[in-house]
Structure 1
Amino acid sequence: MESWLDLSFPLVTGMPVYPGDPRVEVSQALRVAEHGVNVLRLHMGSQSGTHVDAPYHVDEAWPTLDDLPLERFAGPAVLADVRGLPARAPITPDLLAPALSRLRLQPTAILLLATGWSAYWGTDHYLAHPWLTPEAAQAIVGAGGRTVGVDALSVDPTGGAALPAHRVLCGAGGVIAENLTGLARVADAQEAGSPVEVFLFPLHLPGADGAPVRATARIGGGARSG
């Protein structure tokens, strides 16, 4: 039986953002009583909330969001379950080995890294998430992966300047989705053998480094197995 999951955090005023990014503010611009319609006013950065990074995010010579093919933002899911790691722990290639074996058989799949860190959303501990080593990022690229999502603030350590995992993935023309949530249910579906398909379509922002997404997963039904 087909079911749908929302893998996104809601966009609300004062929500967590990467240190230094614009604050998110959502307010009422027009009201039915006064103007005949309801319209919200939005102020946010391109990396606000659940979002995707284009290669341009880390290198001005690399593709912008609208340069990327739409198929990069949807596909069958392969989930790497790395829950249980301590704060600021590295995610190494050996931890990804089972998922990478599946990814090699289906290189169009979206690799989801389930760290469990979405449970700390809105707390200071959310910044202490596990992170992807450059070697692990290279292993993903070597397995054919070009779209990677994580239920944490970044695939790199928050606060670091070099962003090595970003550079490996984006340097291969890849897409990175960050601040996902609800991946435990995707893990359960994969464990049960149910097919899962993920959708990460961003706002159409020409020349952008990234954009918020309404990340969703379809379990069962017409989804293809990862």
Structure 2
Amino acid sequence: MIVDLSVPVVNGMPVYPGDPEVEIAPALTVAAEGVNVLGLHLGSQSGTHVDAPFHIDDALPTLDDLPLERFLGPAAVLDVRGLPPSSPVTAGMLETVAGRLRPGTVLLVATGWDEHWGTPEYLAHPYLAAETARLIAAAGVRTVGIDALSVDPTSPPAGDAGDLADAGDLAAHRALCGAHAVIAENLRNLDPLLEAQAAGRPIEVSLFPLRLAGADGAPVRAVARIGGV
């Protein structure tokens, strides 16, 4: 069974505040030129995408510096659905997947926030606390995805001053990217993966990006393959 984990790329789709807007329009048409070709204008972080470590530090690896193994692997899905808006995924919440966190694992964080895609509420998503991101990296995990706009807060988080400091510093990005991990954002449709995991079925996730030279990130067609028991 193949599950599509990607949002559709469409004209005017949601983007991270300040990122380039997505513009898609016919460049050539069958009626005029004999073929259909779309013209695309979008940012490297548009839609479902991966961040390379270079995204937050010029000294860190770009997409093409990373091994292809970073973008494919067995998945562990962390279920944190039901969290309030702008709340952290704390270190204690990792206990349910702790035995699965190891090098080569693709950790997917299921917040359920993809249901808010295209609405103002999407900006107030849950996020990884700095300590949580550090523990993930310390376990050897080098691929992390989330069904939200970012692993860090986008809007001011509800919480204490420490949470606010993490928001301004991209603390989760820095913990993960500093360990040369890749981060997938704007995933969707993680519920079938949680069901498969609960049933003991193996899950393999593919997050291969466009091959953009020297890039900070790129859109992906994220998919999961669910196997039998």
TM-score range, shorter chain: over 0.9
Q: Report the alpha carbon displacement of residue 34 of structure 1 after superposing the two structures with TM.
A: 1.2
| SS of residue in 1 equivalent to 2:201 | coil
1:148 corresponding residue in structure 2: 144
| SS of residue in 2 equivalent to 1:218 | strand
Structure 2 length-normalised TM? 0.93
1:1-226 pair list within 5 angstroms: 3-104=1-102, 107-159=103-155, 160-220=167-227
**Whole-angstrom distance in 2 between the partners of 1:102 and 1:212:** 27
Q: Report the alpha carbon displacement of residue 100 of structure 1 after superposing the two structures with TM.
A: 2.3
Q: Which amino acid aligns with 1:122?
A: G
**Whole-angstrom distance in 1 between the partners of 2:37 and 2:168:** 38
Q: Report the alpha carbon displacement of residue 176 of structure 1 after superposing the two structures with TM.
A: 0.1
Give ranges in structure 2 of 5+ residues lacking alignment.
156-166
Give ranges in structure 1 of 5+ residues lacking alignment.
none
Q: Report the alpha carbon displacement of residue 42 of structure 1 after superposing the two structures with TM.
A: 0.3
Structure 1 residue ranges, 4+ long, deviating more than 4 angstroms after superposition = none
Structure 1 length-normalised TM? 0.94
**Whole-angstrom distance in 1 between the partners of 2:141 and 2:52:** 15
- Alpha-carbon contact 1:100-1:140 (below 8 Å) kept: no
Q: Which amino acid aligns with 2:87?
A: A
**Whole-angstrom distance in 2 between the partners of 1:92 and 1:142:** 15
- Alpha-carbon contact 1:92-1:136 (below 8 Å) kept: yes
Q: Report the alpha carbon displacement of residue 96 of structure 1 after superposing the two structures with TM.
A: 1.1
Q: Percent identity between the aligned chains?
A: 65
| SS of residue in 2 equivalent to 1:62 | coil
**Whole-angstrom distance in 1 between the partners of 2:99 and 2:135:** 11
**Whole-angstrom distance in 2 between the partners of 1:75 and 1:205:** 21
**Whole-angstrom distance in 2 between the partners of 1:192 and 1:121:** 28
**Whole-angstrom distance in 2 between the partners of 1:175 and 1:97:** 22
| SS of residue in 2 equivalent to 1:77 | strand
Q: Report the alpha carbon displacement of residue 212 of structure 1 after superposing the two structures with TM.
A: 0.2
Q: Which amino acid aligns with 1:79?
A: V
Q: Which amino acid aligns with 1:128?
A: A
Q: Report the alpha carbon displacement of residue 17 of structure 1 after superposing the two structures with TM.
A: 0.3
Q: Report the alpha carbon displacement of residue 162 of structure 1 after superposing the two structures with TM.
A: 1.4
